[in-house]
Amino acid sequence: MKKKSFIAVWLLALAAIACALLVYENDLLWKVQEMNLFLNTPLYFKQQMVVSGGMLTYIGTFFTQFLYHPTVGVLLLCAWWLLLMGLVKRTFRVPDKWAALMLIPVALLLLTIVDMGYWVYMLKLRGHFFVSTIGCTAVMALLWCFRSLPAHYYLRTLLILVTAVAGYPLMGIYGLAAVLLMAVWSWRLCSRGTAIINTIVAVISIVAVPLLCYRYVYYETNLSNIYFTELPLYFLTEEYHQYYIPYYLLLLFFVIMAVVPWSRMQTAGVAPQKPVEVSVPHPMGKEKGKQQKNKQGKAGKKSLSDSRWYRWISAWGWSVCIVALLAVGVTHFWYKDSNFHRELRMQHCIDHLDWEGVVSEAAAQEEEPTRAIVMMKNLALWRLGRQSTEMYQFKNGSKISNAPFGVRMMQVIGMLIYYQYGKLNDCTRLATEMGVEYDWRTEYYKYLTRCAILDGDKPLARKYIHILKKTTYFSDWAAWAENLLNHPDQIAQDPEMEPITHMLHYPDELGSDNGFVEEYLMKHLAHTNNTDDPVFQEQCLLASMWMKDHELFWLQFGNYVRLHPNEKIPLYYQQAVYTFGVEDNRPDLDQMPFDPGVKTIYEQFSQEASKNDGRDINEARDWLYPLFGNTYFYEYYLMSDLPQY
């Protein structure tokens, strides 16, 4: 391999990673920065330093904010990875031939990002997107210093102690990892006696320093977590150890790097120099010279080791194999759940008021959707004025989120739904609860600000706006919110808030949803009967159709007719009226002005449904969906027992 050509391999690999992140995980990058918070204030810095590893958190949140511009954030991440690879190679003096091995920690760090899935909503470690990368880079820098120190005067032993005392408060577990690797490396770099001393100092430091810090320095650290600060804690009601595997492998990689004698391999890999040939006249004359020439000719034929292909394979073969294996491994473990990514894309579209984008995502749905997808689709159709005519033309269902732990819709889009449907008290409650549980994020402050503005609570709104003004990228958003706060008359003309003003007709109370957002919202809407706002009342009618409560439906339908005199009843409402009328045996059903196809389709549905008596409900759904999936009849009779979560 030509000198420094390994850098080309690194750059190509990083370019491929960057493209994959920007193309396939653009919405995840957006969500990560929304769930991040970095404030340009001394107080914010002090708040991070109240726990061990606070400096690493501060730096991690600082870099995570640049994901606001995904390309900038990804390029910064790749720059950190390039620095990490360079430090690993230089620290352990790895030969150029094996430089592709430096991509292993990059692949593992990439997996901690792209395999977290729904943890993006629940991880409590701030700045986790960059923390692991920066922590590993700092560990390598410390190991480089360790190797560079002379072996005399116990300077390396002193560095182990200093790393533990200073590294743990600044970097948490990464400071302890550096101490551990120094102890392991001592057995190869130092004499046996020094290695024993270094190991003893390292073990005592790893055990004692976190305990002393817990006892005398920090007061916001859980005793059970003092050795794992700055490591994402994948714990809800139980520990999910599979998510720690990349971190175990990272530690194993660095231990192997410290144990393997790379410098000897580099020396052994140097090709012996060819002897210099000197031309000397042969004393035997021309005949002997001719024989000598023939021998030289035979010896001059190229051997296999001198061929171009052999040299190429020898130089690049290992690199190609390593890169290929890493690519296959990362692709295999990359979290590719379509519902998860569709939820993120829909949220991203809603954040930009791209309602057509939300509908397009719902139209592209092939498998059973989650309830979050269904609710965001209905929200978008409502905003576009097409809910009453198109809501059943899309996939329906209630697929459980693809995660080894329970995921509530409340955690995914709870605040979004409550805000968009005007449940300001519940949105504020949920944002506050999430902030206390998972720490404060930009997204939480934005929802709190919106709700305070619509509630007319100016002091509270100014408090949140003041916080957001201290961010790098959300000061413009804060200025928009402040303008609405100072000019309430503009709220009714604002594209985002105008539709929500029609939904502010709930009783001024705070309820408990027990984590079931959709059911809680639909019940409140269906039982509300004190408004003359047609927009709000139509949502009440749709909620009664969702609940399939006959009494509430007739009440809300009567209100709808009263508020829409001389208007044609939308098809889905006609189908609902006919369904409830048949079920209630209403004598005036035949006198109602239904479209010609409503009764016909209902009769066809009844005939086909009777053929499925005794069948499993899922089989009946599959059988009838192609024929009647776009009707309220299918919704009423076959989608009644969907699980709520």
Question: What is the DSSP secondary-structure string of 525-593?
Answer: HHT------HHHHHHHHHHHHHHT-HHHHHHHHHHHHHHSTT-PPPHHHHHHHHHHHHHHT-TTGGGS-
β-bridge mates for residue 235, sequence order: 239
- 202, 179 Cβ separation under 8 angstroms: yes
Residue located via tokens 């206390």: 436
pLDDT in tens, 59-107: 999 999 999 999 999 999 999 999 999 999 999 999 988 999 999 999 9
Phi, psi dihedral angles at 172 (to 5 degrees):
65, -130
Write down the H helix ranges in 392-491.
409-420, 424-438, 442-455, 458-469, 475-486
Q: Which of 402-411, 507-516, 599-608 has the lowest mean pLDDT?
A: 507-516
Picking from 325, 341, 338, 340, the residue whose alpha carbon sits closest to that of residue 107 is 325
Task: Indicate whether 315 pLDDT > 60.
Answer: no
- 67, 107 Cβ separation under 8 angstroms: no
Write down the H helix ranges in 225-285.
245-259, 262-268
pLDDT in tens, 324-360: 999 999 999 999 999 999 999 999 999 999 999 999 9
Phi, psi dihedral angles at 25 (to 5 degrees):
-125, 25
Picking from 403, 399, 65, 400, the residue whose alpha carbon sits closest to that of residue 234 is 403
pLDDT in tens, 127-163: 999 999 999 999 999 999 999 999 888 999 999 999 9
What is the number of H-type helices and E-type strands within the chain? Answer: 32, 0
| Percent of residues, the chain, with pLDDT higher than 70 | 91
Task: Indicate whether 481 pLDDT > 60.
Answer: yes
The DSSP H or E segment spanning 77 is helix 70-92
Beta-carbon count within 10 A of 107 CB: 21
* b (16+ CB within 10 A) / e for 271-305: eeeeeeeeeeeeeeeeeeeeeeeeeeeeeeeeeee
Task: Indicate whether 194 pLDDT > 50.
Answer: yes
Region 550-569: mean pLDDT is 94
Residue located via tokens 């002393």: 212
Cα 384 to Cα 382: distance, rounded to the nearest angstrom: 5
Cα 580 to Cα 545: distance, rounded to the nearest angstrom: 10
pLDDT for res 6: 86
Cα 574 to Cα 571: distance, rounded to the nearest angstrom: 5
Mean pLDDT of all residues belonging to the chain: 90
CA 520 to chain centroid = 27
Picking from 446, 496, 448, the residue whose alpha carbon sits closest to that of residue 474 is 446
pLDDT in tens, 160-172: 999 999 999 999 9
pLDDT for res 271: 46
pLDDT band, residue 307 (cuts 50/70/90): low
pLDDT for res 269: 47
Task: Indicate whether 362 pLDDT > 70.
Answer: yes
Residue located via tokens 């009567």: 558
Helix (H, G, I), strand (E, B) or coil at 239: strand
Cα 556 to Cα 551: distance, rounded to the nearest angstrom: 9
Task: Indicate whether 270 pLDDT > 50.
Answer: no
pLDDT for res 60: 97
